[in-house]
Structure formats: C-alpha cells, structure tokens
Amino acid sequence: MPGLLHRFLALDRRWIFLLVLLSVAGPIIFPVGLPVTVTESTQKSFDYIEALKPGDIVWLSFDYGPSSAPENDPMAEAFLRQCLLKKVRVVVTALYPLGGLGLANQCLARITAEYPDAKYGVDYINLGYKDGATAVMRRLGDDISAAFPTDVSGRPLSEFPIMRGLKSIRDVKLVFTAATGLIGEYWITQVHSQIGTPVIIGPTAVSAPKYYAFINSGQLVGMLGGMKGAAEYELLLSRGHPELASLYRSTKGFTATKGMDGQTVLHGFILLFIVLGNIAFFQERAKKARA
C-alpha cells in the first residue's frame, strides 16, 4: 500500500486529465439523473419572482461571456421563461463586452420562440450593449434613455410601449444579473445601495462565495450560485409550472440539471484524489521524520 501511494504521488497528471474527461463525458452519454437539493438563496429568488404581478417590469442583464455560458446561460433562460410565463415584462441589456450581447440575442431568440404570444417592444425589449458598467448604471438611475437612447437595432425607445412610464431603473421591480467578474457586484453596490432596486444575482461558481456576504447583509434578494444554482432553479420551475417540467424533461438542449450529473461524478473523484494525496503526503512526511 505505501508503495502504491508513493506511485500515486508521482503519477503523470495527464492520467488524471483523462479520468476527468471520462468522468464528465460519461454522464453526458449515459445520463444518470442524480437528485438536486434546493438552497435557501435560490428558493428566495424563485419566490420573489413568483410573487410579481403580470405587467410588472424586471431588468435582465447579460453580464457574462461565452467563457462562462454553461453556468450563466441556464440561469438567464430559466429566469426569462418564468417571467414570460407569468406575463412579467422584461428589459434586456448586456454590460459585458466580450460576447454579452451575442448571448443575450441568442437567449432571447431561443426562449421567445417558446412563447409566440410575447411581443417585442410590449412584453420584452433588448436595449443592447453599453460599455463602462458603473457609468451606465449611474445613468440608469437618472434616465434610461440617456444610457440607452435606442434599442439594439437602433430604434428610439419612445417607439416601444414597454418603455412608456419607465424613466429610470428605480421604476423596475427587480434587476436579475447573470454575471461573471465584477459587473454583478456593481449592480448590488451601486444600483441597489444607491437607488434601492432589489437585485438577484446569478454568478459563476468562482464568484459565488463573496456574494454570501451581500445576502447576509440584506443587499441581495437571492443568488443562483453557478451551475448548481441554475439546476436548483430549473427544479423549482419544474415543480411550480408543469408545462416547464415537461419542457425540461423533453429538451435535447443543454440544461444545468443535465450538467449536474457530471459535476457530481467528478467531485466524487476529486474528493478521492484529495484523500489519497493527503494520505501519501503524511506518509512521506512521517518517513522523512523517521529517517
């Protein structure tokens, strides 16, 4: 056994890469359907949106790029589905420079195709991308049309019924930001703290730990932490809306719930590696101490 552990420490790491590949690819080819448990921060986010009334306006900001799309895409899609299903109107923006707008366009195209009754300019609108996140948010607090004079295709905002009566971001019921990096934090520390608009964040898992401090201080309504948070939200949507349950069951597209199989299997292997690595490390240290 000690010899085996010693060989484990000296193992070429490319074998570990191969094992990682197999443990993630396996559940994609043969889905397992492992259970997902719901955390409090996701439940609070879901309940808040469920309590909104038809006609209310919410703000959805695509503050991420393709590099974190597997985590953030399912959150944005689930949020948009819930809003359109409940007839809550959605204003879409993108503040992340590298691909935020492209992902917003794709997500809107995918989800609005599922809701043919939802009309552009009435039930939802895409204001496009704007550079300089903090400066944009500052302007949104005073005048939305100063920050976004036109929609994504260059038409003035005054042409759209959804924008009538919507002067500043304080007029929306909620901001949902699917975010990577710092832009999500700006929505909390600038828009919520200075204007008062409630914020829900869907960060990448890497950023998630720091947002617990904002949940504890009451600056966030809730959070969907990484792919796990998105999978929890899909579960809540499926439980709350049977029509979405059948959609999530039948879709051949990527969902966070499907991704969690690979996460669970690989995390099992990582835990095993950590335990074996530690045993080998302490044995090595004891051997040196004896010598």
Partner 1 sequence: MHFVGFGTWLAALLTLFAFSFLYKDNPFFRFAESLFAGVSLGYYVGITLNQTLLPNLVDPMVQDFGHNWDLVVPGLLGLMLYVRAVPKIGWVSRYALAIFVAYYIGVDFTRRIQGEVLPQIARTMLPLSSLQATTLVSLIFIVGVYSVLVYFFFSKEQNAVTKPLARLGIWFLMISFGAAFGFTVMGRVALLIGRLNFLILNWIYPTIGLQ
Residues that bind partner 1 (CB under 8 A): 14, 17, 20-21, 24-25, 28-29, 67-71, 97-99, 101, 128-132, 134-135, 138, 148-150, 152, 154, 186, 188-190, 192-194, 204-206, 208-209, 213, 216-219, 225-228, 252, 254, 258-259, 262-263, 266-267, 270
Cα Rg of the chain, angstroms: 22
Helix (H, G, I), strand (E, B) or coil at 144: helix
Closer to partner 1 at the Cβ: 105 or 283?
Answer: 105
Among the listed residues 72, 58, 127, the one whose alpha carbon sits nearest the alpha carbon of residue 103: 72
Residue recorded with tokens 């992340």: 96
Closer to partner 1 at the Cβ: 52 or 103?
Answer: 103
Helices (H) and strands (E) in the chain, counts: 13, 6
Residue/partner pairs of 117-124 with CB below 8 Å, 24 or more apart: 118/84, 121/151, 121/159, 121/160, 121/161, 121/162, 122/89, 122/160, 122/161, 122/162, 123/84, 123/87, 123/89, 123/90, 123/162, 124/84, 124/89, 124/90, 124/91, 124/92, 124/162
Q: Smallest gap, in angstroms, from Cβ of residue 48 to partner 1?
A: 19
| Tokens linked to 47 | 């309940």
Distance CA 225, CA 9 (A): 33
Starting at the edge strand found earlier in the chain, the sheet holding 199-203 runs 124-129, 89-94, 57-63, 174-179, 199-203, 222-223
Closer to partner 1 at the Cβ: 59 or 186?
Answer: 186
Helix (H, G, I), strand (E, B) or coil at 127: strand
Q: Smallest gap, in angstroms, from Cβ of residue 15 to partner 1?
A: 11
Angle at 158 between CA 156 and CA 162, to 5 degrees: 110
Q: Smallest gap, in angstroms, from Cβ of residue 186 to partner 1?
A: 7
Closer to partner 1 at the Cβ: 149 or 161?
Answer: 149
Closer to partner 1 at the Cβ: 12 or 117?
Answer: 12
Q: Smallest gap, in angstroms, from Cβ of residue 55 to partner 1?
A: 28
CA distances from 90 to 29, 124, 239 (A): 36, 5, 23
Closer to partner 1 at the Cβ: 198 or 240?
Answer: 198
Closer to partner 1 at the Cβ: 157 or 236?
Answer: 157
Q: Smallest gap, in angstroms, from Cβ of residue 163 to partner 1?
A: 15
Q: Smallest gap, in angstroms, from Cβ of residue 291 to partner 1?
A: 29
Q: Smallest gap, in angstroms, from Cβ of residue 47 to partner 1?
A: 21
Closer to partner 1 at the Cβ: 138 or 241?
Answer: 138
Q: Smallest gap, in angstroms, from Cβ of residue 2 to partner 1?
A: 27
